[in-house]
Every structure is written in structure tokens, then in C-alpha cells.
Chain A
Amino acid sequence: MPDINILIPSVLNGLTTGALYALVALGLTLIYGVLHIINFAHGALLMIGLYAVYFLNVQFGIDPYIALLIVPPAMFALGYALQRGIISRAGHGRDENILLVTLGLAIIIENLSLFVFKSDTRVIDTPYSFEVIELFGAFLPLPKVIAFAGALITATLLWLLMARTDLGKAIRALAQEPKGAKLVGIDTEHVFAMSFGLGIACLGVAACLLLPSYYVSPHVGHGFVLIAFTVVVLGGMGSFVGALIGGLIIGVVEALGGLFLGESLGQIGIFLIFILVLIFRPTGLLGHKV
């Protein structure tokens, strides 16, 4: 039985880790939850974002938080181009094709990265890398607290975009009734690509907020992609607030699971939740049937 004094720090740490999961999952909930594209390349694209942040820092001395002005727009452009240039063309609108195309993309991107960047683990050192904030006797790393705030802001912005803008309405229309959306004059190809681009831009945000407390290597995405799918299903397909809450829950479950069951068994809690949600609430916590 762990010491009760470490329970609060553990939960707080779980919340900050969960915010990082939520950040990665926010983009996925747009792509997978709204557009129903199973994007296996999500982890590989996160890795590209992390390398972009890394090289901006190492080559040009750009702080990862300043890189928020550069990396997310660049990732948006990459996502838009990928969707229009490769996924849409090779997928022919068939789910199984899209699944295989994104899987292929993931393999190509990872192996190219392995070839170009080698398998070295790379980290950046910022003046605040080891800064902590003391809260209820817990030392919370400053980069993780910033990532927590970043996840809240990103989720709110995405929610506003979906609820209050024409693009958001078009995306929702496309998700609910693609043929109807086409009939009323929505450029579905463009909206699909915009959605995919936005999803990948979220990964750019995640990369900027993640790197000060994490590392980048060609395989770094593996650790996040399965968790991100779990978060999306738990939160409810297409729900940004759901993804945020789902991420936080997964983070806390992982932290407490590690504390009570040991670090190796602690991961079981996450996938137990995944199975239970699929059985008892397939639409997720905040999801609704489309």
C-alpha cells in the first residue's frame, strides 16, 4: 500500500500527464471522431512535429513555446497536403483503403526518420526544463503545467471553431451527412482536407508543449497513439471536451494504477477502461450517436 502522502502528488501528476494525452487526442478526435478516418500515421506525424520543434530550438534557438507560431501552421499545411494529395486519392473513399494508406504512411515516415535522424534520442534543454511549481506539497514540472493550460485552451478553441464558424458547421455537416453536404454546395474535398489539417495542427501544438519535458526519437509516437485512440473512444467520438476529460481520466488512472499495481501492471487500468466503455457506453462519456 503506497504512502498516502504521495497520493495527491500522484493524482496531480496524472492530471498533467493526462493533459498531454488529451493534446495528442484532440487532433485525433477531429480526424477519427468526426471524419471517421482511422489515422494510423497520427503517432508518426506527432514525431515530425517534435523533430520540427527540436530543430527550430537547436538550429535557430527558437523556444518551443515561440515555435507555437511556426509548427502548428506548418503541420496544418502538411496535413492538408497529405489528405488532398495522398490519403484522399489513394483511399478512394473506402475506409479499409484509408486505414492501409495511413498505416503505410506511418511506416514510410518512421523509416525515413530512422534513416535521416538515426535512432538517437534527442532532448532539448531550456532554462525552465527543471523548473517546478509547488502545489499541495507536490512538485509539478513547469512544462507540464504549461501543457495542461495549453490543452485546456486548445480544446476550447477547437470547440469554438466547431460551434461558431462556417468551417465548423461544414465539418459537422460532412460528418453527419456527406451526400447532403455535397448537395448544398459544400466543397467536401476541401473541408475534409481542412479537418485533417486542423487535426495535424493540433499535433503541432502538442509537439511544442511536449518537447520541453519529453524526448524525440523516430519511434516516439508509438507510446502515444494507442492511448490517444483510447482517449477518443472514452471521451466520445468527436467531442473535444470529452477528449480533454478522457485524457485527464486516463492520466490519473495510469498514475494510480502505477502506484497501486506497480509500473508494469499499471497500464492495465487504461485498457480495462477502454473495454468497459466499449461494452457499457459505446458512445463514450460525452459522445452521441451520429
Chain B
Amino acid sequence: MTDKIQPAGVGRRNFLKTTGAAALGLGVTGFPAVLRAQSAKVKIGLIHPVSGFIAFSGNQCREGALMAIADLNAAGGIKSMGGAQLEAMLADSQGKPDIGAAEVTKMAEAGVDGIVAGYASSISLATSQEAAKTNTPHVVDVGVSDKIVSRGLPNTFRFGPGYGKIAEFAVANLDTINKAAGSPAKTAMIIHEESLFGTGTAKLLSAKLPENGIEVIDVIKHANPTRDFTNIVLQIKSKKPDLIIPANYYNEYVLLARTMRQQRVEAMGIYSVLGGAASNYKFVKEFPEAAENIMDCNHWFNPKSEIAQARKAAAEAKGLVYTYEVFLAYNAVLGLADAIERAGTTDKDAVNAALAASTMDMSYMPYAPTKMVNGQNQGAQPVNTQVQNGDIDVIFPQEFASAEAIFPMT
């Protein structure tokens, strides 16, 4: 501390001290330019429901996204920014849209460069809306609601398919499978979870299935979590549908499948649309008999791609079950990093523009070439899988198929 009062203005000595320090600073930070760039970090916000009722899926997403960041960093980071490394900022939405949105606000204040979120449709809607306020680039990893990309938000992108396309595929492929077997299935019951994903999917299917000659005899909605599915299964038994179509999250799917087996439900087919467990190795491993021959229309990787198989092996080596959450979140980070790479900056407008112009090669997925329209990748599509002999096989489209469909299953 000093009691001396400094005269107004800048004295000669002070001027020299200040400019000298500034020059020294410039010298350190300004040369060499590559070194300065390498110290910069690109902050990627990862917001997932790692606690709460969909915590399993949220954690799977986080793991997938972190794997992508680690792989990108190991491959030299963002090369157009002097090899800038990606840095993950983690947040938990607890399965609640409002908390997800609050985490976006916090991340924006902390200088996040782009966000990958938020697994569930309802959470993705909230996080992308909040990110739009600061124009922060936001890539939705899983959330399938088509509302996410139909609000005209310039910062919101999705590399995976939405449920409009998935329902369209599911119905068309079911029609093909049914016709190939002589059209034995004429009725269906839809069992769906109560949030945006399940309700929206059920609504689309209810409208589209009758167009292909399949009558929807009942649609049953259930809460998350549901402790007991016996009532629902009793109703299925009573109405005897040819097809049972579940659209729900993992825990509920497992309980439903177990109860159907316990109550000896006999149907021609269980044909899930975005079934939480039907395309999940964990379910197949734990309940091989309950899972056998269940079909699903869901996100999946290209089984014929070496890159996809290598990523699956890497995830399994880490002890992860290679579910769609893992590879969709991985892809979302790749898409965002690819845009930053092409933009050569973390400027938000530039990154959003690069995302909108993305043509990223995604041949490790069963997709057509990447093309963004209003933030949605038009090339994205689901596939049909079926559990056969304790493994998950792709049965449609033909070009990615690793097995023929088994239908009817009884």
C-alpha cells in the first residue's frame, strides 16, 4: 500500500512500464502463433440426464460423447485452429427440461463454444431453445421429436433421424415383412410411454398403420416409471392383437417384455418402434428368451462398416454396452467438431453456417449422404433389427442387412 497520490495522465515511466509489459506479453503470446493456438480449448457442453428415470440412457450418451472427444483430441484436435483440443463441459439435466435449459444458461456464461444435448425429446426442445438465445451451436444427439427441427432455430441441428421418418420407415418395412409372409397380421396394439417421444410416435403410427391395412385396436399409454405391467399385458391378452408395438424407455420395455412372457402372450410379432430395449445388447444378454425374435425399427450403426465395428469394439473394451445412445452422441460430437474444423473458428455464426452446410461422411451409419435442411440431416434413417439366436441383426434395408426377417414369430 502507498499513500502517494498519482498525478492524472500517464507519466513517462508508467508509459514505458506499460508498453514494455505489453510488448513482452505480445512476445510471449504472439510468438510462435502455433503455440498460442494450441493452448486454446474448444469447449463442448454435454448436457444429459445422468440421474433420474432415464439415467441409464443419459450416461450412455455422455460416454459416447466423451469417447468422441477423446478420439478427436488423440487425432490432433481441431487442425484448422492449430490443433486446438476439445474440452468437455459436463452437466446433468436430471431428466427435466427446465434443469437442462438452466444448464445451457450456465454454460453460455462460462463461454461454451457448442452444445451436444439432451437425449430425450422434451429436454432437447428446452436446451436448443435456450441455446438459441445466445446463438450457441446446438447438436441434438438422440431426441427424435420433429418439433425440435421445425421451429426455425438457426442454431439447432440433428444428424440422426426424427420420428416422422422413423414411423414412415417402420410402417413401410412392416408392410414389406407382413406381405412377404402372406399378410397374416391385420391388427396391432401400441403400448407407449407418456412423454413427447412415446406419445408422438404412437400418434404417427396410429395414423399410418391403417393405410397399410393394419387396424390399431388399442393404444395404451403408461407412466415413467411403471412398476407393474400386468394390467397392460392382461389387456393385450384380452384383445389378442396380431402385432404388439411398444415405444418406451429401457426399464419399462424390460418389465413389459418380461410380463408378456410370464403371462404367455402369443402374438405374431413384437414390432417395436424406437423400443428402448429391443435393440440393446444388455436386454438380449439378460433375457435371451424374452428377447428372441423381437423386431425393432430404431437407430443402428452400419454393421458392414469397419469404422462402426471398430468403434463398437472400442466401446465394449471400455465396458460399455454399445447402445444407440453411445453412437448417436458420438456422431453428434463429430458433427459439431467437423463444423468447427471447417469454420476454422469458434465464432457462433460461422459454426452454425458450417453445420448447416455439413456434408460429413457418415458411411459408418446406414445413412444416405449428409445434407442439412432446416437443421435436420436428410440422409439419416433408421433400420429394422431383429433379435436372432441371441444377437441383434439388421433385417432392413437390404443393403445393410445381416439376416432375413423371421415373421410370424410363433
B227 and A215 within 8 A (CB)? no
A96 at the interface (CB under 8 A from B): no
A217 and B56 within 8 A (CB)? yes
How many residues in A have their beta carbons less than 8 Å from beta carbons of B? 38
Chain B residues in 8 Å Cβ range of A214: 227
Known A10-B230, A114-B55: A223·B225 in contact at CB below 8 Å: yes
B51 and A121 within 8 A (CB)? no
B59 at the interface (CB under 8 A from A): yes
- Residue of B whose beta carbon sits closest to that of A132: B262
B88 at the interface (CB under 8 A from A): no
Contact of A219 among B52, B228, B231 (CB under 8 A): B52
With both chains docked as a complex, state the minimum distance between the C-beta of B345 and any C-beta of chain A, in angstroms.
37
Contact of B222 among A17, A217, A264 (CB under 8 A): A264
Contact of A262 among B56, B220, B238, B262 (CB under 8 A): B220
A10 to B50, CA, bound (A): 35
A6 and B228 within 8 A (CB)? no
A123 and B235 within 8 A (CB)? no
State the majority secondary structure of interface residues on B. helix
B220 and A13 within 8 A (CB)? no
B254 at the interface (CB under 8 A from A): yes
Chain B residues in 8 Å Cβ range of A111: 51
A259 and B231 within 8 A (CB)? yes
- Residue of A whose beta carbon sits closest to that of B234: A6
Chain B residues in 8 Å Cβ range of A3: 235, 238-239
Chain B residues in 8 Å Cβ range of A119: 50-51, 55-56, 58-59
Known A6-B234, A119-B59, A263-B222: A130·B262 in contact at CB below 8 Å: yes
Chain B residues in 8 Å Cβ range of A139: 262-264
Chain B residues in 8 Å Cβ range of A266: 231
Contact of B287 among A10, A120, A125, A219 (CB under 8 A): A125
A255 and B231 within 8 A (CB)? yes
* Mask of B223-247 contacts with A, CB within 8 angstroms, 1/0: 1011110111011011100000000
- Residue of A whose beta carbon sits closest to that of B191: A263
B250 at the interface (CB under 8 A from A): yes
Contact of A215 among B52, B251, B289 (CB under 8 A): B251
B232 and A263 within 8 A (CB)? yes
A2 to B58, CA, bound (A): 37
Chain B residues in 8 Å Cβ range of A168: none
A141 at the interface (CB under 8 A from B): yes
B55 and A217 within 8 A (CB)? yes
With both chains docked as a complex, state the minimum distance between the C-beta of A138 and any C-beta of chain B, in angstroms.
8
With both chains docked as a complex, state the minimum distance between the C-beta of A282 and any C-beta of chain B, in angstroms.
27
B347 at the interface (CB under 8 A from A): no
B258 at the interface (CB under 8 A from A): yes
Told that A13-B228, A119-B59 touch, could you supply 19 new A-B pairs with CB distance under 8 A? A6-B237, A13-B231, A119-B56, A119-B58, A130-B261, A130-B262, A215-B255, A217-B251, A218-B51, A219-B51, A223-B225, A259-B231, A259-B235, A262-B220, A263-B220, A263-B231, A263-B232, A264-B194, A266-B231
